[in-house]
């Protein structure tokens, strides 16, 4: 693998490192490239003009980029000839930068009839100081009801704004190569295959914390009086044999029962089916043609399938996605050449049962 250190404007390569230790890269969703760390083998008494804060970093293998960001903290170690480098991915810009309206009245932003994608383009896309470009911005997302508004206090971070606007959609936003921001639904296309023989420390558990099938959604018809409506998914309640209630904090201002009901319905569409969380380490990964790829190529948002983990088709019937997981986070360790992944998937109660049986069988083996 290689690590390229670029000039501050990213136009030229200052240095390409081949002699380094402890390389670790991380991605997450939402987010994109998040954190990378490595140790440069260099005399610590010498000044190195390339290893300075904010210089862009590109990490890859052969001619493929697998992580991008910038140096956050170069730390000279007490150990001789080693400098620990901590890097942040481009997604950190969403935490560092925030909304600045033209005047004090701009902190209340009317969004009635608009979608989050429109606001992203209008605000984030127009901020040159953010130093990010817009990539795929899907425009089929939820349209906020008329009269809806957000209150973004002075310098609310762009990440907070994205999280708030994304509540009705539950989509994915990420910053990848060249500081490009994307906003779109989670992928359902399988990107990678992993065999159980190449996995270790496989852990799969139902995510009961995020599950609910009954919400109390609040609204304020006059901006002061607090009222609420109940929205529930009776099919989910029958399927799982229980009612799980939560309060829904609607982002921005909601002025009537119909809008609160719409928010609640959209929210339950994402939460009333029990998710299964998984985490495992793998040392090989393949594409759909069976060709092995470098583990560092796998990133959050990709979809992984474990084909030899599934029961037979006769047992499965119409169920086909037990061993298929969208990835919520990845962590690649170069020294051991291993990849730790944290997938998330929506599955039915029947699939959870098969998952438990598969885990039990693996443990017994």
Give DSSP secondary structure letters for 108-131: EEE-TT-BHHHHIIIIITT-GGG-
Q: Which residue, 26, 24, 5, is CA-closest to 14?
A: 5
Fold of 97-184: Phage tail protein beta-alpha-beta fold (3.55.50)
- Asked if residue 72 has pLDDT above 90, the reply is yes
CA distance 295 to 283: 7
Taking CB atoms within 8 Å and a gap of at least 24, the contacts of 91-96 are: 91/31, 91/32, 91/33, 91/34, 91/174, 91/175, 92/34, 93/130, 93/131, 93/132, 93/158, 93/175, 93/179, 94/132, 94/157, 94/158, 94/159, 94/162, 94/175, 95/157, 95/158, 95/159, 96/157
| pLDDT at residue 73, rounded to an integer | 82
pTM equals 0.80
| pLDDT at residue 354, rounded to an integer | 42
| pLDDT at residue 154, rounded to an integer | 73
Q: Rank 1-5, 123-127, 218-222, 246-250 by mean pLDDT and report only the highest.
A: 1-5
Q: Rank 100-104, 151-155, 188-192, 346-350 by mean pLDDT and report only the highest.
A: 188-192
Q: In the chain, what percentage of residues exceed pLDDT 90?
A: 41
Convert the pLDDT of each residue in 133-186 to its tens digit. Answer: 999 999 998 888 887 888 887 778 999 999 988 887 889 999 999 999 999 998
The answer to which of 54-63, 130-139, 340-349 has the lowest mean pLDDT is 340-349
For 76-85, what is the mean pLDDT? 75
For 48-62, what is the mean pLDDT? 91
CA distance 201 to 26: 19
| pLDDT at residue 76, rounded to an integer | 67
Mean pLDDT rounded to a whole number for the chain = 83
Q: In the chain, what percentage of residues exceed pLDDT 70?
A: 86
- Asked if residue 346 has pLDDT above 50, the reply is no
Residue that the structure tokens 């796998």 belong to: 298
| pLDDT at residue 64, rounded to an integer | 93
| pLDDT at residue 364, rounded to an integer | 40
Convert the pLDDT of each residue in 119-147 to its tens digit. Answer: 999 989 889 899 899 999 999 988 888 87
Spans of all domains in the chain: 2-91, 97-184, 192-207+275-364, 214-271
């Amino acid at each position: 693998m290689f690590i390229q250190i670029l000039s501050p404007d990213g136009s030229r390569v200052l240095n390409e490192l081949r002699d380094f230790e402890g390389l670790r890269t991380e991605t997450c969703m939402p987010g994109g490239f998040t954190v990378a760390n490595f140790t440069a083998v260099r005399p610590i008494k010498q000044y190195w003009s390339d290893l300075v804060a904010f210089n862009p970093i590109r990490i890859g293998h052969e001619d493929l980029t697998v992580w991008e960001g910038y140096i956050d903290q170069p730390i000279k170690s007490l150990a001789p000839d080693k400098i620990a480098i901590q890097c942040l991915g481009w997604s950190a810009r969403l935490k560092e930068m925030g909304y600045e309206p033209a005047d004090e009245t701009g902190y209340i932003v009317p969004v009635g009839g608009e979608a989050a994608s429109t606001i992203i383009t209008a605000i984030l896309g127009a901020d040159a100081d953010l130093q990010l470009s817009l990539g795929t911005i899907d425009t089929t997302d939820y349209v906020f009801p008329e009269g809806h508004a957000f209150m973004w206090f002075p310098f609310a971070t762009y990440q907070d704004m994205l999280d708030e606007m994304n509540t009705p959609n539950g989509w994915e936003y990420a910053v990848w190569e060249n500081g490009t921001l994307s906003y779109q639904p989670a992928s359902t296309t399988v990107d990678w295959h992993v065999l159980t023989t190449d996995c270790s420390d496989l852990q799969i558990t139902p995510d009961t914390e995020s599950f609910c099938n009954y919400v109390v959604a609040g609204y304020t018809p006059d901006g002061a009086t607090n009222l609420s409506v109940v929205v529930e998914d009776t099919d989910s309640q029958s399927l799982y044999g229980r009612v799980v209630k939560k309060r829904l904090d609607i982002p921005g201002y909601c002025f009537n029962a119909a809008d609160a009901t719409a928010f609640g319905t959209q929210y339950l569409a994402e939460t009333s089916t029990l998710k299964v969380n998984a985490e495992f380490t793998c040392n090989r990964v393949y594409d759909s043609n069976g060709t092995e790829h470098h583990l560092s190529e796998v990133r959050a948002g990709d979809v992984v399938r474990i084909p030899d983990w599934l029961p037979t088709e006769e047992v499965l019937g119409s169920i086909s996605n037990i061993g298929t997981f969208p990835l919520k986070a990845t962590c690649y360790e170069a020294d051991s050449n291993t990849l730790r992944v944290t997938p998330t998937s929506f599955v039915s109660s029947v699939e959870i049962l098969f998952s438990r049986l598969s885990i039990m069988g693996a443990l017994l083996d």
